[in-house]
Structure 1
């Protein structure tokens, strides 16, 4: 798998992934692997495809600027993949997928517990064909336990794991009540954890210093991930036995670390230590605040948050958001605007880093190119690549089946039968 330095390849070049997942968590995982150079073949249902192809509006636009039938949601997590259509309910479709799994390094699926056994596509069946196979199952609640048979969705898990209970304003505040995060973060985090687990399993199999040569099974559950990403909120509960509540944009362990109203809008202050607070106080001519015993340390500021805010809020309204940023940015006091998504993409730093990527779509479906968001991993020797736009449904079926050894007549017969 190693290539000469003069011809750099992705870190996962040579790794073959059979992607039987759909919606977000599984596809996010496999896009991560694809970005790193793996050959990911996405298997979709004939005609319908992945559910998210229809989750619109918004939809992709054709060359004339008109809406197509393909939802933009799909493009968030299916870059750099090849799409084939296979009806796994048919025996010939199952046989095709088993042949592909026999040649794959990784299978990722998010069917219900035990759902693929009837097709001979479960781990034990495929392990018998390919002992080196790494097989990752993603479900709502895991492969065992009282909830194992339940369907699991991001919103449900955000509610169950406690994330919604700490997101939003307090009940007594205007607009108070539990809220979901604005992105399906449990799905996204599950995809990230799953890709990490797969990389660990590949290393355990192939490591030159004692690799087993054997694959393994990975059981990923959205609920497990939801609990894990509670992070400091979970550790705070475990330390005290007290369930944290909602406090809007206030940080439970830092102060001042929140949004403030300004003369023309809002600004975000993220003061994380006593030095930053002292520099903020000096910048606004209130050095005495940093010497006040109530505010001299972060712990004191947290305990006396109400008194501190009573002093700060009138001062913060004296300048515009831009004036606050100009005042504080060269003093190492973290301060910034609260952008909407359009403003974020237009931010000079975001534009400099090339976060928006335009990828050509060569599927003959009227969509010339698709905009996607760059992968944030910047590797110096084996950089992320942007080889292809999220594919049209079944765009690569013929090419992938030809790699399996099927000739044009065999592919045409499968298409006639509705297998592909």
Structure 2
């Protein structure tokens, strides 16, 4: 939807993203392209009205809805009413603005020819009006840090998006007017190992207890929304790495994907607790089903590999432990699991290395040693053979994916 306070044709209030073959006024606005960094040929030339040299300020209104509102038409009803209300309030105070609904949870206003101080003063007058909304949604207002030129609107939009992530999960309306540098959340080695162990053993209660403790710390320290999203990112990475060797069917993968997607739609602390619980219970169900249908001896071998992969394990050592000949054990493992001993060991080591590359800042040399490779050349060769890229390339790719805007 777009609402303009300029004099001229009647104001339009249209929904963005319509499937209609007729282009909406909003989709033709070059301003929208600038905000979204979308390139394309436009059917209307707005250059006379929106000069590249003209300065403006960007304000983002971001809404966090409880899950019950997100899953119904109530969210769009609330957002529509608030958009109209903001439009009226803004038009009474400023003569030259554009207001857009760009995302399903955001409204953006672009103010032309005014100062940041006047905008900030106006935003503060909105807070009392929004108090009654806190029972239905939680609102964060991010005010861009500086005036930008029209051709810099895309950068300004990205900035207010990052600023909105600095809000905490309290219910009051929050105004963010500074951009802080927030380091990514890194689990301590103790937490990281515990969560991996809980997931791999199908211990949903243990995993949830640990995550609940982390969230309690977030609440006490009034952590930013960004911290909860980092925790969701890191947990999702661990979940996929844990489930990878189970070779789940498409329907099972879709179940997990749906729950992880819900993590990024959480609007309250309670939403996060409920969704993490659902995720861990689903992972545990898949793990326990797999364990139940596995041969006891093969299951014991795999348990040893999963827990002692960093040691100098060998087929001879396992055969002595299980009182079998190395040749017989080798054939037995291949018959019961579909892969031989060395393939399993390397797969587990590389899977663990992938996890450490994502959730820690350890050097590649240290990761190589920690997962059981004394020779980094052997580690690099095996990693590239299994993953198709070097450990360094994998780390850069995964970190860039994690930090993409959800």
The structure that is helix-richer by fraction is: 2
Shared fold by TM > 0.5?
no
Q: Give the TM-score taking structure 2 as reference length.
A: 0.25
Q: Give the TM-score taking structure 1 as reference length.
A: 0.25
Q: Which has the higher contact order (CA 8 A, sep 6+)?
A: 1
